[in-house]
Chain A
Amino acid sequence: NAGVTQTPKFRILKIGQSMTLQCTQDMNHNYMYWYRQDPGMGLKLIYYSVGAGITDKGEVPNGYNVSRSTTEDFPLRLELAAPSQTSVYFCASSSAGGAHNEQFFGPGTRLTVL
């Protein structure tokens, strides 16, 4: 099992550009999450999904969009990149919801917006 994989590992964007961060998991998990980690801070939840076709906002959803067409994939879309979106982005998955189910994290994508 590869677990949770994310691509790309690094990316530099210009202001106003768009991009999609890819996230795939091979554990057949229903729940998937996107977090951002700003320098010197903990993770903040952007969006999450409880299953294919269902997505919900987290704490910091503005400027992002997600979709969940399959169980395996949960891409995160930035439409108009802004410097405030410079961060490290983590995708995670869990078998079910609830705090008792462990989240498994991907290795992260470091995004810089100039």
Chain B
Amino acid sequence: AQTVTQSQPEMSVQEAETVTLSCTYDTSESDYYLFWYKQPPSRQMILVIRQEAYKQQNATENRFSVNFQKAAKSFSLKISDSQLGDAAMYFCAYRSENRDDKIIFGKGTRLHILP
């Protein structure tokens, strides 16, 4: 069975600095996607970035980028120039390409931004 592990329950970063959130996963499948979701205090889940497993190039969305290491089954999120609005819970998630019932979330990392 697939698993997603986020080993950092909480992290803090100074405003304008860079922070990296870690995520590892386990799977025997070859076709899958990985996601980072942001959950602010409003609770609404917001997709931050996603990565297709078949793509070697790391995904980037403005200040957010990932380091996808397929062989190591690692999928970290880097936030550059951290802003106060980045404070939230961040969830790493795995989803099978071909199965709609298999979506696995990690336990989350709470990110604090220090002014």
Q: Which residues of A contact B (CB under 8 A)?
A: 31, 40-45, 48, 50, 56-59, 88, 90, 92, 97-100, 102-103, 105-108
Contacts and interface: CB of A to CB of B under 8 A. Distances in A.
Contacts, number: 60
Nearest to A50: B100
A95 B107 CA distance: 27
A48 B100 contact: yes
Given A90-B45, A99-B95, A108-B44, A40 B101 contact: no
A99 B100 CA distance: 8
A44 B47 CA distance: 16
B62 interface: no
A34 B105 CA distance: 14
Interface string B34-76: 0000000011111100101000000000000000000000000
B93 A42 contact: yes
A59 B101 contact: yes
Contacts of B4: 42
A99 B101 contact: no
Interface of B: 4, 32-33, 42-47, 50, 52, 91, 93, 95-98, 100-101, 103-108
B36 to A, nearest CB: 12
A88 B43 contact: yes
A104 B37 CA distance: 11
A4 to B, nearest CB: 9
B6 to A, nearest CB: 8
Contact of A56 (B96, B100, B106): B100
B10 to A, nearest CB: 11
B100 A42 contact: no
Given A40-B107, A100-B33, A100-B52, A45 B43 contact: no
Given A102-B47, A107-B43, A45 B32 contact: no
B98 A43 contact: no
Contact of B105 (A43, A97, A107, A108): A43
